[in-house]
């Protein structure tokens, strides 16, 4: 039995207490005037979720290369709208304040309903992962494959649990339904946990979510991926590649594509700082400590996706284009 | 059987080895429970690095002990100063606070603690025995059934407003209206937010809670020219007798403790329900079936036992679907899931065979925590109740400052402090004009949950309203709801006949 020794417990408690005190003292960066204060990351989802885990894994190592700590600030609500609006309204444009979001659902959100700020006023510049959208069913379901799902969907309208309507995974199943003629009814259940529960408890026929949140869950079976390859065949042996199998004509649009964003005015004002951010982030991807942190966060190493401004821009353009094409379906 | 007992005692033995985790976590839980705004969920989040550094068993025991004791701790300010620090304790002041106001704070605390400990212990034992069956509840209760369960809770508005129906219903509807502020769950379109981003994610519950109850109470105290509490000082008698009386009063009502805590256990098993709905439903049903319903709201022990037993019944219930099907029954259980997943724990029925310490262990830890709580907290009733002797000129500003800080804690938005003040003013006006703040609060808490399940049910049925009557279990619940609504009138009718 793995027991924690009393002494170790006291050590950890003391370390945490000491950490809290030290953490409250403003950080000082030596050797450079940037960063001159703690980096702040606005996260438009709740603490403890997938974005939080991804952020901690990356920023923990990034802080080593940047020479300063990162502080997350969580602003959940309205599919990320609260976090982004707050970031655009309150964050400074001195390159110390970043946003860490999931590009897919958040950009689709803007397609469905424009935010109050100019969409060119921020840009994503460091992508950290690419997690394909998945179709999953309960292991108790009579349907076992995507083919079964389509056949059943031609007989009756299937209920499909999703985190939110404007989500790359929702987009995938909508396109599949349109191409194959099956009838579906998307049920937005606000978040991965509720979406999984919807399928597990049998309230909905199937569900769609980024694959990481589903693949290891007892009672759930991933039967399809909206991607062109299954890099985790061992963990999702039953998942077929829906994009190619059904010729959906969709570009690879990971449902989980988390990335850091920054105000464009910050880049314009401080190009050197921006460069420093990118250069230090590049070191994270080659650092073994990052891989260890990802493994510790229980995310698959295979989903690490190193991307910068160019890759992020391509993703945003692709998803905006597909989103606009299916806008009426995404808005219910 | 002999083997089972052997495993059981070995589990107790193993759990007791973690006394150095249980005791500090229990004390911490009482403290965070008693501070409005803090809760087991956000405390566990703050302490996540510590919890993750422990082994899975120690981590689970630590979280369970905090969760259990914070539920009990939340009753302290609810009883003494009319501040339900969490939504789960929102029904506690209905009868707890009137007892404190008439100088029986120590007795009220004793009743609250005894019913919490007994209710919690009983449901923990029941949960251990009934795990295989209770875990299936989540499979049967979908949106339609949840709508009826929510209506059970909301019908408490009618019960509260029995003295002035019109005012009660207005207050309840006002609360429901406030509850609908924010982005809707389907299309995420903001409604009634007045342009405030901070309201997109609904009206924050803790500021609404402390504003309606605590700040408005402080305003009332100030308004009465700071004489309210002093005038009651002569009524306050501090003696161990009061504590023993409280225990005795609760033990006499053992049947009440049993059925309300079982109600909490069942509601706890349902994902998305939780302590708030459990305590409201228990209070409402308790009043319905009471021989003295007219005493509810005046400081009636049964009105205090019902919410406290039921919200402690929720604690064990919420763990069952998590361990067996990986579906957390509530927010704290969801955080526990994150910690256990971090340690690579696989949920499922086989967890009880492959790793009994993680399967049964949390329930054993919960039982042990309740026993420790019983011994730890009972002697403190005498000292806690001294809060009532603090002169009002100190206590009113203290209440305001503490609750404003508490309203800031969950989201760290300064905006939430303003929300608490606005709700304080609303509560003050409501009190001065004879509207019941609890009726408003029920609407604020349960309104969004009802809307959520209602929209989900409609979405699944593609707008067909008859879906509300489409399941046998749902229909049975509808009939029970209607019966429960008519019970008071029927009882009145039959008593007149006699």
Mean pLDDT of all residues belonging to chain A: 87
**Same-domain pairing of A69 and A207:** no
A186 in a structural domain = yes
Mean pLDDT of A222-231: 91
Cβ contact (<8 Å) for B327 and A201?
yes
Nearest to B200 among A81, A159, A201 (CB): A81
- Interface check for A217 against chain B (CB to CB < 8 A): the answer is yes
Cβ contact (<8 Å) for B201 and A77?
yes
**Same-domain pairing of A221 and A263:** no
Tell me the per-residue pLDDT of B56-111, one tens digit each, with 9 for 90 and over: 888 888 999 999 998 888 888 888 888 786 778 889 999 999 998 888 888 999 99
Please identify among residues 107-126 of chain A the ones whose CB lies closer than 8 Å to any CB of chain B: 109, 113
A237 in a structural domain = yes
Nearest to B187 among A47, A185, A332 (CB): A332
* B118 pLDDT higher than 60: yes
Cβ contact (<8 Å) for A77 and B347?
no
A29 in a structural domain = no
A221 in a structural domain = yes
Minimum mean pLDDT among A211-215, B277-281, B286-290, B402-406: which range? Answer: B402-406
Of the residues A220, A245, A270, which one is the last residue of a structural domain?
A245
Distance from CA of A131 to the nearest CA of B (A): 19
Cβ contact (<8 Å) for B142 and A203?
yes
* B353 pLDDT higher than 80: no
**The overall pTM is greater than 0.90:** no
With cut-offs at 50, 70 and 90, classify the pLDDT of residue A13.
low
CB-based contacts of B417: which residues, under 8 Å, 6+ apart? B207, B404, B407, B408
With cut-offs at 50, 70 and 90, classify the pLDDT of residue B152.
confident
- Interface check for A331 against chain B (CB to CB < 8 A): the answer is yes
* B45 pLDDT higher than 80: no
Domain boundaries, chain B: 2-497
Please identify among residues 269-298 of chain A the ones whose CB lies closer than 8 Å to any CB of chain B: 296, 298
- Interface check for A164 against chain B (CB to CB < 8 A): the answer is yes
**Overall domain count for chain A:** 2
Tell me the per-residue pLDDT of B177-202, one tens digit each, with 9 for 90 and over: 999 999 888 888 889 999 888 898 88
CATH number at residue A312: 3.40.190.150
Tell me the per-residue pLDDT of A271-291, one tens digit each, with 9 for 90 and over: 999 999 999 999 999 999 999
Cβ contact (<8 Å) for B55 and A2?
yes
Per-residue pLDDT at B441: 84
Could you tell me the two tokens for A96? 């110390």
* B497 pLDDT higher than 90: no
**Same-domain pairing of A144 and A196:** yes
Of the residues A245, A273, A302, which one is the last residue of a structural domain?
A245
* Closest residue in chain A to residue B332, using alpha carbons only: A48
- Interface check for A86 against chain B (CB to CB < 8 A): the answer is yes
Per-residue pLDDT at A24: 40
> What burial class does residue B373 get, using C-beta atoms within 10 Å of its C-beta: 0-12 exposed, 13-18 middle, 19+ buried?
buried
B215 secondary structure, DSSP code: I
Nearest to A1 among B57, B187, B325 (CB): B57
Nearest to B200 among A78, A187, A197 (CB): A78
CATH number at residue A187: 3.40.190.10
Per-residue pLDDT at A160: 97
| Residue A69 or B220, more confident | A69
With cut-offs at 50, 70 and 90, classify the pLDDT of residue B34.
confident
Nearest CA-CA partner of B189 in A119, A79, A30: A79
* A26 pLDDT higher than 60: no
Residue A167's domain comprises: 133-245
Per-residue pLDDT at A21: 45
- Interface check for A2 against chain B (CB to CB < 8 A): the answer is yes
**Same-domain pairing of A139 and A223:** yes
Cβ contact (<8 Å) for A203 and B183?
no
Cβ contact (<8 Å) for B327 and A85?
no
* A176 pLDDT higher than 50: yes
Nearest to B271 among A82, A89, A197 (CB): A197
Per-residue pLDDT at B129: 86
With cut-offs at 50, 70 and 90, classify the pLDDT of residue A1.
very low
Judging contacts by C-beta atoms under 8 Å, the chain B residues touching residue A296 are: 342
Per-residue pLDDT at B355: 76
* B483 pLDDT higher than 70: yes
With cut-offs at 50, 70 and 90, classify the pLDDT of residue A129.
very high
Per-residue pLDDT at A4: 47
Per-residue pLDDT at A264: 97
3-class DSSP string for chain A:
CCCCCHHHHHHHHHHHHHHHHHHHCCCCCCCCCCCCCCEEEEECCCCCCHHHHHHHHHHHHHHHHHCCCEEEEECCCHHHHHHHHHHHHHCCCCCCEEEEEEHHHHHHHHHHCCCCCCHHHEEEEEEEECECEEEEEECCCCCCCHHHHHHHHHHCCEEEEECCCCCHHHHHHHHHHHHHCCCEEEEECCCHHHHHHHHHCCCCCEEEEEHHHCCCCCCEEEEEECCCCCCCCCCCCCCEEHHHHCCCCCCCCCCECEEEEEEHHHHHHCHHHHHHHHHHHHHHHHCHHHHHHHHHCCCCHHHEEEEEHHHHHHHHHHHHHHHHHCHHHHCC
In a mutational test of the B interface, the residue from A86, A205, A218, A331 whose CB has the highest number of chain B CBs within 10 Å is A218
Mean pLDDT of B98-127: 91
Length of chain A: 332
Cβ contact (<8 Å) for B460 and A204?
yes
CB-based contacts of B430: which residues, under 8 Å, 6+ apart? B171, B212, B216, B436, B437, B440
- Interface check for A79 against chain B (CB to CB < 8 A): the answer is yes
**Same-domain pairing of A125 and A138:** no
**Same-domain pairing of A191 and A166:** yes
CB-based contacts of A44: which residues, under 8 Å, 6+ apart? A51, A75, A76, A77, A80, A81, A82, A83, A84, A87, A99, A101, A106
Nearest to B347 among A166, A203, A218 (CB): A218
With cut-offs at 50, 70 and 90, classify the pLDDT of residue A215.
confident
Of the residues A245, A266, A283, which one is the last residue of a structural domain?
A245
Tell me the per-residue pLDDT of A296-322, one tens digit each, with 9 for 90 and over: 887 899 999 999 999 999 999 999 998
A81 in a structural domain = yes
Tell me the per-residue pLDDT of B227-257, one tens digit each, with 9 for 90 and over: 344 445 555 566 788 889 999 999 999 999 9
* B472 pLDDT higher than 50: yes
d(CA B141, CA B155): 20
- Interface check for A183 against chain B (CB to CB < 8 A): the answer is no
CB pairs under 8 A between A and B: 120
Tell me the per-residue pLDDT of B409-453, one tens digit each, with 9 for 90 and over: 777 788 999 999 999 999 999 988 888 888 888 888 888 888 989
- Interface check for A139 against chain B (CB to CB < 8 A): the answer is no
| Residue A201 or A263, more confident | A263
Distance from CA of B447 to the nearest CA of A (A): 17
Could you tell me the two tokens for B35? 């501070």
Mean pLDDT of all residues belonging to chain B: 83
Per-residue pLDDT at B108: 92
């Amino acid at each position: 039995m793995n027991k924690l020794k009393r002494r170790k417990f006291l050590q950890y408690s003391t370390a945490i207490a000491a950490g809290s005190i030290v953490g409250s003292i403003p950080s000082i960066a030596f050797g450079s005037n940037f960063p001159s204060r703690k980096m702040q990351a606005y996260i438009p989802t709740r603490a403890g979720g997938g974005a939080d885990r991804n952020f901690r894994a990356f920023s923990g190592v990034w802080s080593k290369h940047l020479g300063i700590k990162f502080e997350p600030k969580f602003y959940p609500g309205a599919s990320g709208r609260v976090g982004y609006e707050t970031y655009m309204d309150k964050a400074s444009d001195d390159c110390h304040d970043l946003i860490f979001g999931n590009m897919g659902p958040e950009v689709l959100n803007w397609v469905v309903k424009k935010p109050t700020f100019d969409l060119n006023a921020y840009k994503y510049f460091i992508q950290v992962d690419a997690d394909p959208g998945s179709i999953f069913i309960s292991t108790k379901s009579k349907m076992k494959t995507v083919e079964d799902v389509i056949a059943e969907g031609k007989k009756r309208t299937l209920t499909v649990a999703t985190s939110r309507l404007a989500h790359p995974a929702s987009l995938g199943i909508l396109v599949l339904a349109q191409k194959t003629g099956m009838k579906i009814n998307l049920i937005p259940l606000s978040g991965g946990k509720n979406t999984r529960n919807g399928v597990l408890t049998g309230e909905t026929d199937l569900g769609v979510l980024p694959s990481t949140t589903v693949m290891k869950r007892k009672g759930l079976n991933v039967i399809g991926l909206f991607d062109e390859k299954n890099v985790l065949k061992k963990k999702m042996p039953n998942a077929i590649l829906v994009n190619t199998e059904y010729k959906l004509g969709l570009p690879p649009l990971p449902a989980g594509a988390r990335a850091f964003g920054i105000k464009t005015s910050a880049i314009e004002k401080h190009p050197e700082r921006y460069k420093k951010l990118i250069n230090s982030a590049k070191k994270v991807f080659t650092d073994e400590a990052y891989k260890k942190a990802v493994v510790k966060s229980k995310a698959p190493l295979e989903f690490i996706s190193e991307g910068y401004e160019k890759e992020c821009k391509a993703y945003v353009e692709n998803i905006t284009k597909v989103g606009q094409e299916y806008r009426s379906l995404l808005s219910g | 059987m002999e083997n089972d007992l052997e495993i059981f005692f070995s589990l107790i033995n193993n759990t007791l080895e973690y006394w150095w985790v249980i005791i500090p976590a229990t004390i911490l839980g009482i403290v965070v429970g008693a501070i409005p705004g803090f809760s087991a969920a956000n405390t566990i989040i703050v302490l996540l690095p510590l919890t993750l550094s422990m082994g899975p068993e120690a981590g689970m025991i630590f979280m369970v002990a905090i969760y259990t004791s914070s539920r009990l701790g939340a009753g302290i300010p609810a009883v003494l100063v009319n501040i339900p620090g969490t939504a789960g304790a929102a029904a506690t002041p209905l009868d707890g606070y009137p007892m404190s106001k008439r100088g029986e704070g120590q007795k009220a605390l004793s009743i609250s603690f005894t019913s919490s400990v007994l209710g919690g212990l009983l449901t923990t034992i029941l949960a251990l025995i009934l795990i295989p069956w209770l875990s299936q509840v989540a499979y049967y209760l979908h949106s339609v059934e949840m709508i009826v369960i929510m209506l059970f809770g909301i019908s408490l508005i009618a019960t509260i407003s029995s003295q002035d129906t019109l005012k009660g219903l207005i207050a309840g509807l006002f609360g429901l209206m406030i509850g609908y502020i924010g982005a809707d769950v389907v299309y995420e379109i903001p409604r009634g937010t007045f342009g405030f981003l901070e309201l997109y994610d609904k009206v924050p519950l803790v500021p609404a809670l402390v504003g309606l109850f605590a700040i408005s109470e402080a305003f009332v105290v100030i308004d009465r020219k700071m004489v309210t509490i002093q005038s009651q000082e002569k009524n306050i008698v501090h003696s161990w007798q009061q504590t023993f009386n409280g225990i005795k009063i609760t033990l006499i009502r053992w049947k009440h403790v049993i059925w309300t805590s079982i109600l909490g256990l069942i509601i706890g098993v349902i994902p998305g329900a939780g302590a708030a709905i459990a305590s409201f439903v228990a209070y409402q049903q308790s009043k319905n079936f009471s021989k003295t319903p007219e005493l509810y709201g005046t400081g009636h022990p049964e009105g205090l036992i019902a919410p406290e037993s039921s919200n402690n019944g929720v604690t064990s219930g919420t763990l069952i679907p998590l361990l067996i099907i990986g579906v957390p029954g509530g927010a704290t259980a969801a955080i526990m899931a994150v910690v256990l997943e971090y340690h690579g724990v696989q949920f499922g029925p086989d967890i009880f065979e492959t790793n009994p310490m993680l399967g049964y262990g949390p329930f054993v830890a919960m039982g042990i925590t309740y026993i420790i709580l019983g011994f730890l907290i009972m002697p403190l009733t005498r000292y806690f109740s001294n809060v009532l002797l603090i002169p009002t000129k100190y206590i009113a500003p203290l209440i305001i400052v503490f609750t404003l800080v508490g309203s800031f804690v969950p989201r760290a938005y300064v905006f939430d402090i303003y929300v608490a003040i606005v709700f304080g003013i609303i509560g003050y006006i409501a009190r001065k004009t004879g509207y019941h703040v609890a009726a408003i609060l029920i609407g604020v808490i349960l309104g969004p949950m009802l809307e959520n399940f209602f929209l989900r049910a409609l979405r699944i049925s593609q707008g067909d309203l008859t879906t509300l009557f489409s399941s046998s279990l749902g229909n049975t619940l509808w009939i029970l709801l209607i019966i429960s609504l008519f019970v008071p009138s029927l009882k009145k009718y039959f008593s007149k006949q006699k």
